[in-house]
Amino acid sequence: MGSSAQHEHQPTAETKSIKQFDAIIIGAGITGLYQLHRLQQLGLSVRLYEDGDGVGGTWYWNRYPGCRFDSESETYGYSFSKELLQEWDWKEHYSGQPENERYLNYVADKFNLRGNIQLNSRVTSAVYDEKASRWEVQINNGERARAQFLIGAVGILSAHFTPPFEGVDSFKGASYHTGRWPKEPVKFEGKRVAVIGTGPTAVQLITEIAKECGHLTVFQRTPNYCAPLRNGQVAPETQRRFKATYDEIHKRIRETPAGFMYDFDPRSALEVPREERLAVYEKLWAQPGFSKWLGNFRDIMTDREANEDFAEFVRNKIRSRVKDPVVAEKLVPKDHPFGSKRIPLESGYYEQFNRDNVLLVDVRETPIERITPKGIKTSDKEYEFDIIIYATGFDAVSGALTRIDIRGEGGRTFKDTWADGPRTYLGLQTAGFPNFFIATNSAFCNYPVCAETIVEWISDCIQYMREKGYARIKPTREAEEAWVAHAAELASQTLLSDAKSWFMGSNIPGKKRALLLYADSAPNYRAKCAEVAAKGYEGFVLE
Ligand SMILES: Cc1cc2nc3c(=O)[nH]c(=O)nc-3n(C[C@H](O)[C@H](O)[C@H](O)COP(=O)(O)OP(=O)(O)OC[C@H]3O[C@@H](n4cnc5c(N)ncnc54)[C@H](O)[C@@H]3O)c2cc1C
């Protein structure tokens, strides 16, 4: 039993001027909002700091044309409130950014969260005061605040990244990053537009804007295996069915490996006769969403031959849609396994390359040398543009945390601690950083499904500590070491390390290659977290 209760902290003259809370949450996305709700329910004094001037996180920042999620809407919404589930109508099967942002604003109002949210407030540092067992955070406006618990709900895809091209600031036209898209509509009519990048974001954006642009040039480094989304409006009777069956939907998505409605086919791909296998592929292709990835044969992500079989099927689909065979071949991925990078879902992407006003530039053949005042200079020529769009992604998973100057016991920095990749126990805490919870989901999972698990685990842990009178929780170094080794072992059993991707951190120059996500199934991950809690937080030190 901990003798040093949460009341051990006595404010000094200096700390009196600093705001005091029980808990500080960083980030007002889907995770941070739910975390705030749960801690409010526990009666804690909480302050949530958010860099943006609105709530929504991903769905606040990524307002580029075509932005939407690729999870089924009825599985993406929170499951924790039956009332909310009955009140909210999803308009599309794969909901777009404006609706997602409205949804999260609705949640902030419904659960009275706004009073404890401070917008336009970027946390620049967080320093652990060992004597007082308090985290002290510094906000970019100069404010400081202290709390017993610090929760980083900073998102895995929120630290936007622009490659360090020479001359980026010299461009005289307009530049945008998709992850920091302006609120005012951008006009493309008659404009010469460049998009750098061909990941899921670029695929959505290009499909949406190609018809508007005077001319669009797409700079591609890595072609992707894009698969049809097959979106549509949610019919009233379907809406009613969702509402009537939410219990079953949520039960199902807690059982499947990645938190979706589909599960892998239990058969090994190559054991199924060719004709039958192709029929399965065609059936998957005709279905909406990620079923081609996560509802495919069970060994598609572990067996190279099985993967290659489906990859070739996808390549042929791409070839059949692009008229110019030279352009088609450029769009066909050949250097990484299917699914080893996040699969972009599309609604007419490949057809855009049949348009007269769209040009594909392969930067592996002709690398970008620099950004110039007029546009983009490749090894081949200078292209002139009115607008350059950087669809160049994120410093994923670790980026939003390591951009904050976090200092734990002995002044050790979080950035140094994670220099070789994420070092955690259960993805939730790092040794040497007591009471700092990492509320970013690193399981391969329909995000909100696993984010709810994490938030509930953290909330239960805080409640447990308060009930038992513990002041601090941190993982033992042995538990952390074992978890890191276990996560690496799981990663080595997949084909994920065969690709350059944000999953591996290899989209960021100088970032150490390591699988940033946890490769076990979501139910296994959930069971491990629950087991640790049930055993009195085994592997953690509570004092
Ligand atoms: C374009 C796009 C499409 C996606 N599609 C899907 C999908 O189909 N399915 C799926 O499951 N997931 C998808 N995702 C992943 C998505 O990020 C998650 O689904 C989810 O929105 C993450 O919620 P979050 O609250 O954890 O993080 P976020 O929504 O990223 O929120 C984190 C917040 O923390 C804030 N923050 C970060 N650092 C600081 C700081 N130092 N100080 C103050 N505030 C800070 C950020 O401003 C941000 O608002 C997509 C992501 C993107 C970018």
Per-residue model confidence as pLDDT tens digits over 330-380: 999 999 999 988 999 999 999 999 999 999 999 999 999 999 999 999 999
Is the per-residue pLDDT at 517 higher than 90?
no
Is the per-residue pLDDT at 518 higher than 80?
yes
Is the per-residue pLDDT at 328 higher than 60?
yes
Q: In the prediction, which pLDDT does 15 show?
A: 57
| Helix/strand/coil for 216 | strand
Per-residue model confidence as pLDDT tens digits over 412-442: 999 999 998 899 999 999 999 999 999 998 8
Is the per-residue pLDDT at 58 higher than 80?
yes
Cα 104 to chain centroid distance, Å, stands at 16
Per-residue model confidence as pLDDT tens digits over 62-104: 999 999 999 999 999 999 999 999 999 999 999 999 999 999 9
The pLDDT of 521-541, averaged and rounded, is: 97
Paired with 196 in beta bridges are 219, 390
Query: 157 C-alpha to center of ligand 1: Å?
Result: 5
Q: Percentage of the chain surpassing pLDDT 90?
A: 87
Q: What is the mean pLDDT of the chain?
A: 94
The minimum-distance atom of ligand 1 relative to the CA of 201 is 1
Per-residue model confidence as pLDDT tens digits over 454-492: 999 999 999 999 999 999 999 999 999 999 999 888 888
Per-residue model confidence as pLDDT tens digits over 219-254: 999 999 999 999 999 999 999 999 999 999 999 999
For the record, the structure tokens of 447 come out as: 């995000």
Q: In the prediction, which pLDDT does 17 show?
A: 81
β-bridge pairing 144-152 and 436-438: parallel
Ligand 1 binding pocket (C-beta < 6 A) is 26-32, 49-52, 57-58, 60, 62, 67, 69-71, 122-123, 153-155, 157-158, 201, 400, 404, 440, 446-447, 451
Q: Please, how many CA atoms are within 13 Å of residue 85, restricted to the half-sphere of its CB? A: 19
Is the per-residue pLDDT at 8 higher than 60?
no
Nearest protein CA to atom 50 of ligand 1, as residue: 69
Per the CB < 8 A criterion, the answer to whether 221 and 337 are in contact is no
Q: In the prediction, which pLDDT does 301 show?
A: 86
Q: In the prediction, which pLDDT does 504 show?
A: 79
Query: 420 C-alpha to center of ligand 1: Å?
Result: 23
Ligand 1 binding pocket mutation candidate from 100, 113, 447, 452 (most atoms within 8 A of CB): 447
Distance CA 75, CA 250 (A): 7
Q: In the prediction, which pLDDT does 508 show?
A: 83
Nearest protein CA to atom 21 of ligand 1, as residue: 58
Sign of CA dihedral 222, 223, 227, 233: positive
- Helices (runs of H) and strands (runs of E) counted in the chain: 18, 20
Helix residue ranges per DSSP H, 92-176: 97-110
The helix or strand, by DSSP H or E, that contains position 351, with its residue range, turns out to be none
Cα 513 to chain centroid distance, Å, stands at 18
Q: Please, how many CA atoms are within 13 Å of residue 519, restricted to the half-sphere of its CB? A: 22
Query: 8 C-alpha to center of ligand 1: Å?
Result: 35
Q: In the prediction, which pLDDT does 13 show?
A: 56
**Residue recorded with tokens 């999260």:** 104
β-bridge pairing 540-542 and 473-475: antiparallel
The DSSP 8-state label assigned to residue 354 in this structure reads G
Q: In the prediction, which pLDDT does 376 show?
A: 98
Distance CA 115, CA 28 (A): 13
Query: 67 C-alpha to center of ligand 1: Å?
Result: 13
The minimum-distance atom of ligand 1 relative to the CA of 60 is 49
Distance CA 270, CA 301 (A): 13
Is the per-residue pLDDT at 286 higher than 80?
yes
Helix residue ranges per DSSP H, 17-112: 30-41, 58-61, 73-76, 82-87, 97-110
Q: Which of 289, 183, 177 is nearest to 229 (CA)?
A: 289
The helix or strand, by DSSP H or E, that contains position 275, with its residue range, turns out to be helix 274-286
Distance CA 353, CA 206 (A): 10
β-bridge pairing 192-196 and 405-407: unpaired
Per-residue model confidence as pLDDT tens digits over 151-183: 999 999 999 999 999 999 999 999 999 999 999
The DSSP 8-state label assigned to residue 186 in this structure reads P
Query: 39 C-alpha to center of ligand 1: Å?
Result: 20
Q: In the prediction, which pLDDT does 11 show?
A: 57
Is the per-residue pLDDT at 7 higher than 50?
no
Per-residue model confidence as pLDDT tens digits over 501-514: 777 787 888 888 77
Q: Percentage of the chain surpassing pLDDT 70?
A: 97
For the record, the structure tokens of 123 come out as: 């946390």
Is the per-residue pLDDT at 539 higher than 50?
yes
For the record, the structure tokens of 154 come out as: 């900073």
